[in-house]
Every structure is written in structure tokens, then in C-alpha cells.
């Protein structure tokens, strides 16, 4: 597993660095091939936050934990990712065996008009996947929506989203 450690407005000790690397390294047993992990440390008003993101073959697992102790935050984030993996184990195994997370085509770049102020841009590969896989990925990330390429119809780009009244909605291009 490849590690990246990010320190935001905080300098962490070598003990904490070693502790977090040992904990995240234990997640490697769930993955068959090499994966990448990003561990982000930050502190705001005495609250210490650890965010762990693991990227494995296009599948992203993310957890964030905030406590008053950085070591406890690391433990909480790791246990949250383990829960996500165990909860979706059968679905994930099935998807990984079928090769559903093969690299897709990149998303078309968008541009902003001069009248609007774009404060953040994000580019990512659009993965071909079914609607069920997109819902699974959205829930694993903890997002309210997810952009993907529908594998049922190769020409359709779609957005799946959580509805306020419950359930999920799907927006597709024509």
C-alpha cells in the first residue's frame, strides 16, 4: 500500500505518524492488489480531525473522525473504513471479480463564463458502472450525489442522488 500523509495547519509527531501508518497498513489485507491511502491530519479549535481515504482500483473508501485526541481519531477513522468494507463485502467482491471498475473515459472538461466565480474545479475519470454500483460508491463516499457513466448504455452519463423524501433519483443525458 502506498501512503500519503497531509498535515493541515498542524505538525504531527513521529509517534503519531508511525501509529497511523501501522493502522492503515492493516487495511491492506482486504485488497488483492496494490492500493493508495491518504491520511490527512488537521486541527481546529482544539478538535483534532483525521481523514483517511483509500483508493483501490477506482473504488474509494473514505472516513473522517474528529475527537480531542489524534490517536483516537485515527482509530475511529480506520474502524469506520473497516465497517464500510465489511458491510459491502459481498457486493464489492462481486464487482471486483467482474472487472466493473476498469478505467473509463475521462470526464469532459467544463468551462465557466466570466460572470461566474468558480471557486473549485475537480476532474476525475468517469467509470462505467451500473446504477446499483453508483449508489454503492456514493454511499461509501458519504456524498449526496455521484456522477458516472451508465454501463447499461455506453453513451449515457448520469447522476445518482439521494432524495430528501427518501430513496434515490437518477438524472441521465439523452
Sheet arrangement for strand 128-129: 128-129, 145-150, 157-162, 168-172
- What's the pLDDT at 101? 34
Tell me: the pLDDT tens digits for 127-148? 788 888 888 888 888 888 888 8
Residues 40 and 107 in one domain: no
Tell me: the pLDDT tens digits for 100-118? 334 443 444 443 334 556 7
Q: For the chain, how long is the longest CA-to-CA vector? A: 54
Indicate the SS3 state at residue 80. Answer: helix
Q: What is the CATH number of the domain that holds 83?
A: 3.30.160.100
Domain membership of residue 8 (yes or no) is yes
Q: Which three cell numbers stand for residue 65?
A: 473522525
Residues 106 and 140 in one domain: yes
- What's the pLDDT at 155? 64
Indicate the SS3 state at residue 143. Answer: coil
Residues 80 and 104 in one domain: no
Q: Rounded to whole angstroms, how far apart are CA atoms 154 and 78?
A: 36
- What's the pLDDT at 127? 76
Domain membership of residue 92 (yes or no) is no
Residues 69 and 111 in one domain: no
- Summary mean pLDDT of the chain: 79
- What's the pLDDT at 93? 65
Domain membership of residue 27 (yes or no) is yes
Residues 113 and 152 in one domain: yes
- Whether the pLDDT of residue 171 is over 90: the answer is no
Confidence band, pLDDT 50/70/90 cuts, at residue 97: very low
Residues 42 and 119 in one domain: no
Q: Which three cell numbers stand for residue 71?
A: 490517536
Confidence band, pLDDT 50/70/90 cuts, at residue 159: confident
% of residues, the chain, pLDDT over 70: 82
How far, in Å, are 21, 56, 131, 139, 149 from residue 144 at the CA level? 30, 21, 15, 8, 17
Q: What letter does residue 26 receive in the DSSP assignment?
A: G
Question: Nearest 5 degrees, angle CA 53-CA 127-CA 165?
Answer: 75
Domain membership of residue 46 (yes or no) is yes
Number of CB atoms found within 10 A of residue 89's CB: 11
Could you list the residue range(s) of the whole structural domain that residue 166 is in?
Answer: 100-172
- What's the pLDDT at 105? 37
Confidence band, pLDDT 50/70/90 cuts, at residue 95: low
Q: Do the beta carbons of residue 114 and residue 133 sit within 8 Å? A: no
Q: What is the CATH number of the domain that holds 112?
A: 3.30.505.50
3-state helix, strand, coil in the chain (%, to 5): 30, 30, 35
Q: Mean per-residue pLDDT for 37-59?
A: 88
Q: Mean per-residue pLDDT for 43-69?
A: 88
Q: What letter does residue 155 receive in the DSSP assignment?
A: T
Residues 52 and 121 in one domain: no
Residues 75 and 109 in one domain: no
Amino acid at each position: 500500500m502506498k501512503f500519503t500523509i497531509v498535515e493541515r495547519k498542524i505538525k504531527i509527531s513521529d509517534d503519531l505518524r508511525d501509529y497511523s501508518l501501522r493502522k492503515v497498513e492493516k487495511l491492506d489485507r482486504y485488497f488483492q492488489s496494490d492500493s493508495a491511502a491518504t491520511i490527512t491530519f488537521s486541527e481546529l479549535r482544539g478538535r483534532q480531525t483525521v481523514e483517511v481515504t483509500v483508493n483501490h482500483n477506482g473504488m474509494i473508501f473514505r472516513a473522517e473522525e474528529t475527537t480531542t485526541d489524534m490517536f483516537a481519531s485515527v482509530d475511529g477513522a480506520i474502524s469506520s473504513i473497516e465497517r464500510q468494507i465489511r458491510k459491502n463485502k459481498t457486493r464489492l467482491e462481486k464487482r471486483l471479480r467482474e472487472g466493473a471498475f476498469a478505467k473509463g473515459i475521462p470526464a469532459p472538461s467544463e468551462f465557466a463564463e466570466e460572470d461566474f466565480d468558480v471557486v473549485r474545479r475537480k476532474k476525475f475519470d468517469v467509470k462505467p458502472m451500473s446504477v446499483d454500483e453508483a449508489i454503492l460508491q456514493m454511499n461509501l463516499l458519504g456524498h449526496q450525489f455521484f456522477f458516472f457513466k451508465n454501463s447499461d448504455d455506453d453513451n449515457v452519463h448520469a447522476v445518482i442522488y439521494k432524495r430528501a423524501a427518501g430513496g434515490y433519483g437518477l438524472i441521465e443525458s439523452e
